[in-house]
Structure 1
Amino acid sequence: MPPDVRKCLESWDPLRDEGFSFRMFDDASAAAYIEKWYGPRELAAFARCRHPAMRSDYLRLCFVLAEGGLYVDADDVLLGDGWNNIFRDSTLKVHPLCYDVNAGGMVPGPELRRTDLPTDGRIFYVNNNPIAAPAGHPILRRALARATNSLLGCEPTPEIQATTGPGNLTAALAAYARESQISGIMPDFELLLHWEEVAEPRWDLAYRGDARNWRNMER
């Protein structure tokens, strides 16, 4: 574990006093977990994930779907006590994001709370960090099935973001929301519009500058 990443992880230690337990995985323990909870298709799909970030994408779906809980990236730093609200009910909770194509950057988090935010030239999606949900949530079930089918398809090098990352989770959530709307059912998920007050990523970490960062590998 790189020291700068470990420092990020240590920021979450106070939650142990609140009754939290922590689980971390490497490639071997992740494969063993998937083999225990799922079947040969999921294990084969995990084996086709060609980068650690991709394997992390896939594992988090498997873990939260199987047991429920909260997933956060190892390079996120805990800021405050807003995490309390995440556990007030059993809805799935994810963080919305928006990319401004014309500006070439992300729309600031507070802007996403505006009801009059223009949509032209913007790509709206949800991040797959954090993910909070009870076990067996249908959005995660759909996202895992979608990622598995893509990984086991004919594409030799499936793109990470769309196959296992935020693109995959966004597609699963949007399909579920549309089906719920057609059926007249209130969807059981929530967008975390204030997550940046709970935790934030550290961008000055050493791994971001080399091939350990999936963005560099893709380029």
Structure 2
Amino acid sequence: MSENNEHTHFSPSTADLAGDGQAAAYLERHGADTVEHAFAIANILHIHNKVLEASAFYRHAFDLHSKSQTEYPLPQSLLQVRLLCLLKAAQKLPEEEINELSTYSPVMAGYIRGIRAAWQENNNEKSLALVGNAFEAFHSGEEIDRLYLEIALNWIRSFGDSGFPDSEPAIPHHLYMYWDNNPPPEIQANIQLHREMLGDSFTIFDQSSAADWLYDHYGQEAKDLFLQVRHPAEGADLLRLHVILTHGGWWLDADLRVKSPQAWQELKDVKTHCQLFTTDNYVLHNDFFGAAPTNPIITNALMTAWANMFRHPGLYIAFKTGPGVLNRAVSRALYQSLQLEALLPAMRVDNQPAFDRFVEEYEVQYKNAGASWHSQ
């Protein structure tokens, strides 16, 4: 950056932190004179929804950056999140900064222009065209997947009804669940509840039976990958995708339960090949979903999970094998349909209230006791 650029004169102080105690403590202890520390403060502010202040610290980190493509976080990553925070703060974007971002990453600049089109111009169709498949420049499950899904759903549903292609019911009426070893009493009770409610339409896996199933259906490599995961939740994520891809049916985490026999019966009549649900924040649930065998959404999600296991072993589990791979698979399907004129797979994406009609949480003591994992 040139010396006369106003950003180089930003001198961080507690006055710039909007009263955020955690950010203030970090600034007092570490200062903000390196990319690492400025970035850390920006992240704290961003997490706490102090987005205008976060944008200033992301810009400060960018100005401190060498601009080398070997220094992480990359300069384009800092600049795009700086601009995204300005958008979240309902601020007008400096055009020169978007152009600056474009010199590092035209894809990320298109992403920012696309989000601006949706949020500030209320033009979802333009937004989707500008964003394109920019999500491929990010890890699966990062914020771009959630924003892309929200914009795409708003655009699709603007045409009325659900906006998704209809089909005959195709999801096998069978429920799958997993707990690795030694389920606590409340999990045992939940498993028994589903055995009694669903009978032969219910299958529960433990680690041993899951490993055997993977060996029989996908071979030694899949079994080894499952048994070598760094966290049991990662193993559960891998199992659910393999099982639903092969047999089809419904997956339910062991800390959730089907609300009633009537709710279970209603699922039999769902007219689609893939039924997904979003949280209010447009993260796709992987703790409860259903699909027909060999469904292309589940196929793509499993492909991404396998790739992440090898390419990004330290990635946050929710992005690496969890909900993030479903979000990425849906992003790809929507992009191909909207921009490449590919046929959108028969699927439905419903909201949190729809999710709550079928399943519910129940009290589990192991979470309160600080247990190391659960089945999600």
Normalising by structure 1, we get a TM-score of: 0.76
Aligned to 1:2: 184
Q: Give the secondary structure class of the aligned counterpart of 2:225.
A: helix
How many angstroms apart in 2 are the aligned matches of 1:129 and 1:177? 22
Aligned to 1:201: 361
Change over 3 Å in CA distance of 1:10–1:136 after alignment to 2: same
Q: Give the secondary structure class of the aligned counterpart of 2:189.
A: helix
Change over 3 Å in CA distance of 1:140–1:146 after alignment to 2: same
Q: Does 1:91 align with 2:273?
A: yes
CA contact (8 A) 1:9 1:75 kept: no
How far 1:90 sits from its partner (Å)? Answer: 4.3
> What are the superposed Cα offsets for residues 59-98 of structure 1, whole Å, 9 maximum, x if unpaired?
0000010111111111112223233343323421112113
How many angstroms apart in 1 are the aligned matches of 2:280 and 2:229? 26
Contiguous gaps of at least 5 residues in structure 2: 1-182
How far 1:29 sits from its partner (Å)? Answer: 1.6
Aligned to 1:165: 322
Moved over 4 A (4+): none
Change over 3 Å in CA distance of 1:10–1:195 after alignment to 2: farther
How far 1:197 sits from its partner (Å)? Answer: 1.7
Answer 1 or 2: which has greater helix percent: 2
CA contact (8 A) 1:5 1:74 kept: yes
How far 1:130 sits from its partner (Å)? Answer: 1.1
How far 1:169 sits from its partner (Å)? Answer: 1.2
Change over 3 Å in CA distance of 1:43–1:176 after alignment to 2: farther
Change over 3 Å in CA distance of 1:201–1:179 after alignment to 2: same
How far 1:184 sits from its partner (Å)? Answer: 4.8
State which drifts further: 172-181 or 162-171.
Answer: 172-181
> What are the superposed Cα offsets for residues 90-127 of structure 1, whole Å, 9 maximum, x if unpaired?
4211121133xxxxxxxxxxxxxxxxxxxxxxxx2211
How many angstroms apart in 2 are the aligned matches of 1:132 and 1:84? 14
- Matched residues, number: 186
Aligned to 1:177: 334
How many angstroms apart in 2 are the aligned matches of 1:40 and 1:34? 8
Select which of 243, 249, 255 maps to 1:69.
249
Change over 3 Å in CA distance of 1:141–1:85 after alignment to 2: same
Select which of 127, 135, 153 maps to 2:285.
127
CA contact (8 A) 1:46 1:58 kept: yes
Aligned to 2:103: none
Aligned to 1:103: none
How far 1:140 sits from its partner (Å)? Answer: 0.7
How many angstroms apart in 2 are the aligned matches of 1:43 and 1:180? 34
> For residue 166 of structure 1, what is the amino acid of its counterpart?
P
CA contact (8 A) 1:86 1:132 kept: no
> For residue 126 of structure 1, what is the amino acid of its counterpart?
L
> For residue 257 of structure 2, what is the amino acid of its counterpart?
V
Aligned to 2:193: 11
Answer 1 or 2: which has greater strand percent: 1
Q: Give the secondary structure class of the aligned counterpart of 1:169.
A: helix
Q: Does 1:82 align with 2:250?
A: no
CA contact (8 A) 2:190 2:254 kept: yes
Max radius of gyration: which structure?
2
CA contact (8 A) 1:95 1:195 kept: yes
Q: Does 1:138 align with 2:296?
A: yes
CA contact (8 A) 1:79 1:199 kept: yes
Normalising by structure 2, we get a TM-score of: 0.46
How many angstroms apart in 1 are the aligned matches of 2:373 and 2:299? 27
Q: CA RMSD in A?
A: 2.2
Question: What is the percentage of aligned positions where both structures have the same residue?
Answer: 26
Aligned to 2:163: none
How far 1:147 sits from its partner (Å)? Answer: 0.5
CA contact (8 A) 1:151 1:163 kept: yes
Q: Give the secondary structure class of the aligned counterpart of 2:287.
A: strand
How many angstroms apart in 1 are the aligned matches of 2:274 and 2:317? 23
